[in-house]
Chain A
């Protein structure tokens, strides 16, 4: 192999397009950890760190910590008074929420990064390794396309497409940000391994004994059976071995998942014994970046299969394949149905007729229908049933069960359904020709002005 070959391979590794799902999953996890950091860990002692009467005044930090370096701290630009600072933290929480759900992601992530950086610079003495890793990750994420999957952005963008044609696979893009994050994690493990390896206590196996006796770090007491010299020795050496593996063997596909599993056990063990909130979970969240997208899909299919075993097969949900609004709406439901609880059936298609013998087609013409134990339900009621069985829609449930909402909902649903062709129009020529059936062919043909018969799904 020549040096040029090596560079080409490296270039390929950084830039060959691949699925953004691992990066998107990481974005969600970092968003949740950031929310935990701010809401759970900053709030209880917020006044001590950030208020006008903080433990260390702003001027002191500026004079002795910032010194003459350029610093980004938007908190320092705010007028005096705690209200402004509280507002700053409120904006950070909103931005972190946007980042987590993937709304306006290309803006939310850089904003979150700059705000977190400001907090760090404003008061650096409550910052631990987990916060540092989060900040580094956000810096890199700000350049990535983490909103291309598992996000509201993607949901909104894809609602304009006909999912029956383009599918649900997110746009593939160069994974250089994911690669940088992988390298960052490996670098952190390499650094900590090298520092530990130069210390006598890690080598003689006593390090764990001392680490678990620092009173301020003790989280839960060690089970008495494990509080032995032998366990301390084995634990210390295992830590070294696992951290070494996490920066070396992790790059080999055939052993990667074993290495990740050992890292998971190590961090869970530390998290049980040592009180370092966010730190362990920040590192663990980066493990998803090492999981192949195909394996994530495989894992998810396994989860949905288990759910199917528990709750029965997916229910049928019918939609009008000739109505753009219905197709787009169903596409959104399809994406929200992460556990595969529904089977989306176009009642216009001739080849679906046999499977929909029990369906009231006249009613299906008017409203979306969903199969339940009590038979087919339609309209607003169907929407409520769907929301109940899709966890991503649970946030709507309190609204859907307000008094009188059923009455109002049915009316609104009826109004939209009646005018559904007027709202977004009918299917275009292509989808008509693809999906024309006895039920809708005449309408499609009338719209396209063509007399030719459809190529697939001929009228029954």
Chain B
């Protein structure tokens, strides 16, 4: 706790001003800590290196430990470049009778301030991950999730197309106020999945 001294020490029972107790390390512990410092520092720097043959070589050695301990880091948010489009992911579901339905993944911009604050982690999943090619392994799982969320015993989903609605037009030279941003008006389909009976179980 923060100590305080609000009255003359001679009168109230204030603690004496003895020097604080000190903990020192023995040489073996110091050696271990120095090794740890070196390991952490090297791991961090390698984790942050830009892509290069040297980085690949170093990562092949360090990455298993780094990933196991969760020491991977990158601080590239909004850099080096920023995207110039706005988009949001959707799914187009085609049912057995041929009808289609547009399924919107949760959209933060449609939520109230408190809800989009609480549920901001959705942004990472649906906005920053789902539409991008790094995520392609998981597209079939995402499509199955959407299919299961839209089952209808009378009219089951047969196909799920993952897409994003987008709009170009962010250009600093043609300044648009934040409140006048255009709505996404184009659709780009990046994955189509044929739903099986197994998927709906």
Contacts and interface: CB of A to CB of B under 8 A. Distances in A.
B18 to A, nearest CB: 6
Contacts of A352: 11-12
A136 B71 contact: yes
Q: Is the interface of B mostly helix, strand, loop or mixed?
A: loop
A170 B121 contact: no
B83 to A, nearest CB: 7
A216 B123 contact: yes
Given A55-B145, A212-B178, A213-B176, A191 B4 contact: no
Interface stretch (B22-30, B90-98, B155-163, B186-194): B22-30
A140 B71 CA distance: 10
B84 A210 contact: yes
B3 to A, nearest CB: 4
Nearest to B107: A216
A75 B15 CA distance: 48
A199 B79 contact: yes
Given A169-B20, A187-B44, A199-B80, A343 B1 contact: no
Interface in A284-317: 296-297, 300-301, 304, 308, 313-314, 316
A149 B17 CA distance: 17
B48 A187 contact: yes
A383 interface: no
A77 interface: no
A195 B63 contact: no
* Residue of B7, B78, B137, B142 with highest tally of chain A CB at under 10 A: B78
A78 B100 CA distance: 40
B23 A173 contact: yes
B54 interface: no
Interface string A329-363: 01000011110100111100101100100000000
A44 B172 contact: no
Interface residues of B, number: 82
Nearest to A117: B70
Contact of B113 (A176, A184, A220): A220
Interface residues of A, number: 120
Interface in A41-98: 41-42, 44-45, 48-49, 55-57, 60, 63-64, 69-72
B172 A217 contact: no
Interface string B104-131: 0001110001001111111111010100
A183 interface: yes
B102 interface: no
B178 A165 contact: no
A168 interface: yes
B119 A174 contact: no
B13 A345 contact: yes
Given A21-B2, A180-B37, A174 B25 contact: yes
B20 to A, nearest CB: 4
A55 B142 contact: yes
A106 interface: no
Given A164-B13, A275-B120, A340-B4, A210 B37 contact: no
Contact of A70 (B68, B118, B137): B68
Given A72-B69, A183-B41, 20 more contacts: A15-B25, A41-B119, A60-B138, A121-B70, A139-B70, A164-B14, A174-B23, A192-B75, A202-B80, A207-B79, A212-B178, A213-B170, A214-B82, A214-B86, A215-B181, A216-B109, A219-B117, A308-B6, A340-B4, A344-B13
19 contacts: A17-B22, A44-B118, A72-B70, A128-B124, A150-B1, A155-B1, A166-B16, A170-B20, A172-B20, A191-B48, A195-B76, A199-B82, A201-B82, A211-B82, A215-B109, A217-B123, A218-B109, A221-B179, A349-B13
